[in-house]
Amino acid sequence: MKTVSGRWRLGSIGGTLLWSALLAVGAYAQTDPLPSWNQGPAKQAILDFVRDTTDPSSPRFVSSAERIATFDQDGTLWVEHPMYSQVKYCLDRVPAVVAAKPELKNVEPFKTVLSGDREATTSLSMKDLETILVATLTGMTTDQFQSEVEKWLATAKDPRWNRPYTELTYQPMQELLKYLRSHGYKTYIVTGGGQDFVRVYAERIYGIPPEQVVGTMGGTKYGYDENGKPILTKDAKLLLNDNNAGKPEGIQLMIGRRPNAAFGNSTGDQQMLEYTKAGDGARLAMLVLHDDATREYAYGPALGLPDTKVGTFTQALFNQAEKDGWLVISMKNDWNHIFAFEK
Amino acid sequence: MKTVSGRWRLGSIGGTLLWSALLAVGAYAQTDPLPSWNQGPAKQAILDFVRDTTDPSSPRFVSSAERIATFDQDGTLWVEHPMYSQVKYCLDRVPAVVAAKPELKNVEPFKTVLSGDREATTSLSMKDLETILVATLTGMTTDQFQSEVEKWLATAKDPRWNRPYTELTYQPMQELLKYLRSHGYKTYIVTGGGQDFVRVYAERIYGIPPEQVVGTMGGTKYGYDENGKPILTKDAKLLLNDNNAGKPEGIQLMIGRRPNAAFGNSTGDQQMLEYTKAGDGARLAMLVLHDDATREYAYGPALGLPDTKVGTFTQALFNQAEKDGWLVISMKNDWNHIFAFEK
């Protein structure tokens, strides 16, 4: 921030200092770690938090070994509307599942998905959806699953932007991940999505290695293939539903310490943010509000935005954020870019 | 190794080079990363493995982001005889549990433990032991548990050495952990012991942070204390028994990729070593054999060593090690020091 005010001061002195001013702008552009964030309370809170927790002379200093930042994924790091990408993956896998088990062809909910009737598919019950998730996410080895997801990611495209899902990550959050890591923070994804699914691409698209992806966890079963080679087969046993109260539980299981900073965008992140903020010292909790229908989507229903089942941000959550000192990030006002491909 | 042969060559030239030879010895003492290991196939295998996987020109090179080494704890990193330290902790906690719930005083197995009859206590059935583990490891908040374990660690002593349990770590393995980390390896504990128990001291005594401790996992339940502050309470739900087949399953859950190197000492580590060795490229699998009754303990029953229920190393495991190219570390022959306090 010093550089910014310095720049305006230089500019105000007059034309003779034009070159100095331009150089200062250049230096600022190079050194601003969060160029896609507009100046404002959200950006300032991040800069203050990092300064306070990494300056050894600060009373709020955190040793580098203890610096943990956790990020929800869907709606926080990438687009979640109109449908979670993983759900789209599972629906897209149904033909392959039915090809391998033709007896499912005329059985619901597979029949509806195969019919191609989009409206009927999006109206499937939670129970039907679970049947599809189990059929498409379990029963194969971990290696087979990884290669199936990779193949899908390479070809599937979001219909609105006509781009691979992995390009629909938010540029400001990518900058934030890098900025935190460059200051010694370990960045974790803590998602309600499937842990193994997100791990397939998290390292490539977010720089987050598999061991730092915490998600909804299914079990695996150790065994041997026909050549006696060890394999792990994904089974349908649910170990942890990493959403709501499951998020702090998943953090305890996978990380074993309380985050210093946590970022989310919906009611599923409430407990993670509470748990983070309840720690001593400097704690940062932030919520992304989708209030930009032009550049992305607008949904809530906080602040009168349209209601949704995908990434609900209720007025009660908004009120809790105000009361507990969580910052709300307005996509519309706080982000000057949303996607890298806009530039 | 080059330094070692260099030293002998220097020494063989004659007395005029005495000083050079001494200086070379000094340099060697400073640079040998594994001074508590005797020269031999075990030490050589470690040095070769690290050289091959960290030299970018080697066909067996592994990028630093992917370098994972996993270590069993009991009997591999520290003493496990005559009883796992965590079991001792649980037995020592029984009086406090009964003080809080006096109705347990005359109920088995608490009654036997309270009687102080050591023989009767060590003869408790597996089911009785489980009752004690559940009573002493669950029901409290994660913060309370951590503080109880810390208090015990500060006072409890192993009867043979009359030292805190945390001093009974093997110096050669401590050197190995540091050596691997200094070459970009992430070191993990993968233990049948309780994940939360080991996390209390792993960072302090092994340099391994909580997020790199994989152990037997119980669930937690998110809730609020009487002041509305978020808490996590340890519950009795077993998520994963991190032993035998549970070790590769736990590695998949917590790390999400196959280790490059794995170290164990008993049949409980067999699947972890198989899984590690089944990967492509350079893979190191090693087993510590307790064959030194004078300096530590001798048990097997591989190679005719006395049989044991704690850390069983069967002849079948020994044969599998030979067949599959796992190296057996002889405590007696491969380690010139066992404990740091010997020096």
Write a three-state SS string for chain A. CHHHHHHHHHHHHCHHHHHHHHHHHHHHHHHCCCCCECCCHHHHHHHHHHHHHHCCCCCCCCCHHHCEEEECCECCCECCCCCCHHHHHHHHHHHHHHHHCHHHCCCCCHHHHHHCCHHHHHCCCHHHHHHHHHHHHCCCEHHHHHHHHHHHHHHCCECCCCECHHHCECHHHHHHHHHHHHCCCEEEEEEEEEHHHHHHHHHHHHCCCHHHEEEEEEEEEEEECCCCCEEEEEEEEEEECCCCCHHHHHHHHHCCCCCCEEEECCHHHHHHHHHHHCCCCCCEEEEEECECCCCCCECCEHHHCCCCCCCCECHHHHHHHHHHCCEEEEHHHHECCCCHHHC
Do A240 and B217 make contact, defined as CB atoms within 8 angstroms? no
Do A256 and B65 make contact, defined as CB atoms within 8 angstroms? no
Is residue B11 over pLDDT 60?
no
How is the beta sheet containing B284-289 ordered, strand by strand? Answer: B230-240, B213-224, B186-194, B68-71, B261-264, B284-289, B327-330
Cβ-based neighbour number of residue A205 at 10 Å: 19
CA–CA min distance A306, chain B (Å): 30
- Give residue A331's identity as a one-letter amino acid code: M
For B111, counting Cβ atoms within 10 Å of its Cβ (0-12 exposed, 13-18 middle, 19+ buried), the class is: middle
Report pLDDT digits (tens) over A183-211.
999 999 999 999 999 999 999 999 999 99
A252: chain B residues, CB-CB within 8 Å = 142, 220, 232
Interface contact A150, partner B, CB < 8 A: no
Interface contact B203, partner A, CB < 8 A: yes
Do B232 and A220 make contact, defined as CB atoms within 8 angstroms? no
CA–CA min distance A275, chain B (Å): 6
* Confidence at B181, pLDDT banded by 50, 70, 90: very high
Alpha helices in B14-72 (DSSP H): 18-31, 41-54
| Partner residue facing B209 (CB), from A65, A196, A239 | A65
B246: chain A residues, CB-CB within 8 Å = 222
Cβ-based neighbour number of residue B181 at 10 Å: 15
Among A236, A254, A235, smallest CA distance to A246 is for: A254
The single-letter DSSP state of residue B149 is H
Distance CA A113, CA A122 (A): 9
A254: chain B residues, CB-CB within 8 Å = 211, 254
Do A256 and B213 make contact, defined as CB atoms within 8 angstroms? yes
Do A253 and B229 make contact, defined as CB atoms within 8 angstroms? no
Residue with tokens 């090179």: B61
Do B271 and A209 make contact, defined as CB atoms within 8 angstroms? no
pLDDT, mean of residues A290-306: 97
pLDDT, mean of residues A97-103: 96
**What average pLDDT does chain B have?**
92
Interface contact B230, partner A, CB < 8 A: yes
Distance CA B42, CA B259 (A): 19
Report pLDDT digits (tens) over B303-328.
999 999 999 999 999 999 999 999 99
| Partner residue facing B220 (CB), from A195, A217, A249 | A249
Interface contact A203, partner B, CB < 8 A: yes
Interface contact A248, partner B, CB < 8 A: yes
* Confidence at A16, pLDDT banded by 50, 70, 90: very low
Residue with tokens 């067996």: B60
| Partner residue facing B249 (CB), from A199, A213, A222 | A222
| C-alpha Rg value of chain B to the nearest Å | 22
Do A245 and B221 make contact, defined as CB atoms within 8 angstroms? yes
Of the two residues B25 and B278, the one the predictor is more confident about is B278
* Confidence at B8, pLDDT banded by 50, 70, 90: very low
Report pLDDT digits (tens) over A125-169.
999 999 999 999 999 999 999 999 999 999 999 999 999 999 999
Distance CA A165, CA A281 (A): 37
Is residue A13 over pLDDT 90?
no
Residue B30 is predicted with a pLDDT of 58
pLDDT, mean of residues A91-110: 96
| Nearest-Cα residue of chain A relative to residue B259 | A211
Residue A31 is predicted with a pLDDT of 87
Residue B14 is predicted with a pLDDT of 43
Interface contact B213, partner A, CB < 8 A: yes
Interface test with B, best of A145, A222, A234, A244 (most B CBs within 10 A): A222
Six-digit token string for A4: 């910014």
Q: What percent of chain B has pLDDT over 90?
A: 90
pLDDT, mean of residues A228-236: 97
Q: Quick check: helix, strand or coil at residue B70?
A: strand
Distance CA B228, CA A278 (A): 10
Of the two residues B4 and A145, the one the predictor is more confident about is A145
Among B223, B236, B140, B239, smallest CA distance to A244 is for: B223
The single-letter DSSP state of residue B291 is B
| Partner residue facing A245 (CB), from B222, B240, B254 | B222
- Give residue A82's identity as a one-letter amino acid code: P
Write a three-state SS string for A279-301. CCCCCEEEEEECECCCCCCECCE
Report pLDDT digits (tens) over A18-76.
545 555 554 555 589 999 999 999 999 999 999 999 999 999 999 999 999 999 999 99
Phi, psi angles (nearest 5°) of residue A261? -140, 140
pLDDT, mean of residues A102-117: 95
B275: chain A residues, CB-CB within 8 Å = 222, 230, 232
The two most distant CA atoms of chain B are separated, in Å, by 81
Is residue A229 over pLDDT 80?
yes
Tell me the pTM. Answer: 0.91
**Cβ atoms B287, B265 nearer than 8 A:** yes
Is residue B167 over pLDDT 80?
yes
Do A203 and B239 make contact, defined as CB atoms within 8 angstroms? no
- Residue B147 vs residues A286, B90, B142, B156: alpha-carbon distances, Å: 30, 14, 9, 14
